[in-house]
């Protein structure tokens, strides 16, 4: 920014350098408060800061303040329609930890992360490795794999729901093969894994792209050196690819973890959290508490808990996974 200003001719005799403090020009140039006229440079400053400030204000008003405010809400009994919002201390948190449905949603969210994150990383990496080896039709495959990622989540969820419904395509295939039809989304023990499958399928494209970029950045040199030393393909993958891909893996794990911790749209559209709350996630619990039961206090308390979990999780991942790589 400094450079831009310095190289710009100013109205006062074409001088290009801002003069030091105390000079007459400085007073003319600076945007002064209280009706003093602004010079061209002053206007420029005003414009630049204005451009920078407006989004910041917007961000603060629309994002930051509500976040801080939700901490306040979490300590109140805040039924959306009731005129009184009394302060109740930790009562919302206490009631959450006695609520079977909430505890269940915590457990389910853990399953989403524990199963979903490795699944997503492995699938994305596998596709990336395969794509890296082909040259013909590479762009085509990359595009095809990326399409699910930019498709509406709601639409994809419903397509999965239709495929997996009792008389859907999946059961049709099983029956054709002479196998027993499955309850899929209507089984408390199966449904969460089908939702995770849908989530993985949809995000493969994103992970693939990130990994492809990471793989491109690994110099061929290392592979050649490893080959000369007699390393096989697994050895090369294990001792060259994986360590050098570590920063990318870390990024992918963090992004995927946050995604799975926030499982919502697929759950809402595929099962609504059922059967018997077996797929209910924290975010769906928050949504139902806030916008179906209108208990904003409890919902905010659950939001705060989710915030703490995500924060702890991310810090932990940075500590554990982000090791220095020796070249």
End-to-end CA distance of the chain: 36
Q: According to CB under 8 A, which residues from 236 to 255 bind another protein?
A: 247, 250-251, 254-255
Asked if residue 230 binds another protein (CB under 8 A), the reply is no
Q: CB–CB of 208/124 below 8 Å?
A: yes
Phi first, then psi, for residue 17 (nearest 5°) are -115, 135
Q: Which pairs with CB-CB distance under 8 Å and at least 24 residues apart come from 93-97?
A: 93/301, 93/304, 93/305, 95/298, 96/298, 96/301, 96/302, 96/305
Q: Residue 201 or residue 251: which is nearer to another protein going by CB?
A: 251
Q: Residue 38 or residue 79: which is nearer to another protein going by CB?
A: 79
Q: How far apart are CA 113 and CA 286, in angstroms?
A: 18
Phi first, then psi, for residue 5 (nearest 5°) are -65, -45
The residues with which 76 forms a beta bridge, in sequence order, are: 87
Q: According to CB under 8 A, which residues from 63 to 122 bind another protein?
A: 63, 65-67, 69-70, 73, 78-85
Q: According to CB under 8 A, which residues from 35 to 64 bind another protein?
A: 62-63
CA 171 to chain centroid = 33
Asked if residue 294 binds another protein (CB under 8 A), the reply is yes
Asked if residue 276 binds another protein (CB under 8 A), the reply is yes
- 275 prior amide bond cis, ω within 30: yes
CA 10 to chain centroid = 45
Asked if residue 310 binds another protein (CB under 8 A), the reply is yes
Asked if residue 175 binds another protein (CB under 8 A), the reply is yes
- Binder of another protein out of 162, 213, 232, 242 (CB under 8 A): 162
| Residue position matching structure tokens 């693939």 | 208
- Binder of another protein out of 311, 312, 316, 320 (CB under 8 A): 311
DSSP 269-306: HHTTT-STTTT--HHHHHHHHHHTS-BHHHHHHHHHHH
Q: Residue 137 or residue 325: which is nearer to another protein going by CB?
A: 325
Asked if residue 166 binds another protein (CB under 8 A), the reply is yes
* CA distance readout (Å), 117 to 33, 124, 229: 54, 11, 34
Asked if residue 153 binds another protein (CB under 8 A), the reply is no
- Binder of another protein out of 122, 159, 293, 320 (CB under 8 A): 293
Asked if residue 171 binds another protein (CB under 8 A), the reply is yes
Max CA-CA distance within the chain? 92
Stretch that binds another protein, among 20-28, 50-58, 130-138, 183-191 (CB under 8 A): 183-191
Residue 169 Cβ vs another protein, minimum distance, rounded to whole Å: 13
Under rule CB under 8 A, how many of the chain's residues touch another protein? 64
Chain contacts with another protein (rule: CB under 8 A):
62-63, 65-67, 69-70, 73, 78-85, 161-162, 165-167, 171, 175, 181, 185-188, 247, 250-251, 254-255, 258, 261-262, 272, 274-277, 283, 286-288, 290-294, 296, 299-300, 303, 306-307, 310-311, 314, 317-318, 322, 324-325
């Amino acid at each position: 920014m400094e450079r831009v200003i310095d190289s710009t001719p100013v109205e006062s005799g074409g001088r290009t350098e801002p003069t030091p403090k105390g000079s007459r020009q400085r007073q003319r140039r600076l945007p002064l408060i209280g009706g003093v006229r602004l010079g061209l440079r002053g206007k420029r400053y005003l414009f630049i800061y204005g451009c920078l400030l407006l989004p910041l204000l917007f961000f603060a008003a629309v994002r930051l303040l509500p976040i801080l405010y939700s901490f306040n809400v979490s300590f109140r009994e805040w039924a959306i329609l009731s005129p009184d919002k009394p302060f109740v201390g930790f009562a919302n948190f206490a009631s959450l930890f006695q609520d079977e449905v909430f505890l269940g949603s915590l457990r389910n969210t853990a399953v989403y992360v524990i199963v979903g994150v490795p699944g997503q990383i492995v699938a994305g990496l596998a596709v990336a490795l395969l794509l890296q080896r082909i040259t013909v039709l590479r762009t085509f495959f990359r595009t095809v794999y990326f399409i699910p990622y930019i498709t509406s989540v709601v639409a994809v969820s419903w397509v999965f729901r239709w495929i997996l419904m009792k008389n859907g395509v999946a059961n049709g295939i099983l029956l054709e093969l002479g196998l027993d039809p499955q309850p899929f989304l209507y089984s408390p023990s199966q449904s969460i894994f089908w939702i995770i499958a849908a989530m993985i399928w949809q995000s493969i494209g994103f992970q693939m792209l990130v990994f492809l970029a990471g793989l491109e950045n690994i110099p061929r040199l290392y592979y050649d050196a490893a080959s000369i030393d007699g390393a096989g393909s697994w050895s090369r993958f294990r001792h060259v690819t994986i360590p050098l891909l570590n920063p990318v893996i870390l990024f992918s794990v963090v992004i995927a973890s946050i995604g799975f911790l926030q499982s919502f749209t697929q759950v809402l559209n595929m099962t609504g959290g059922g059967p018997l709350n077996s797929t209910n996630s924290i975010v769906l619990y928050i949504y139902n508490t806030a916008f179906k039961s209108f208990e904003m206090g409890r919902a905010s308390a659950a939001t705060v808990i989710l915030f703490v979990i995500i924060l702890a999780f991310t810090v932990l991942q940075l500590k554990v996974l982000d090791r220095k790589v020796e070249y």
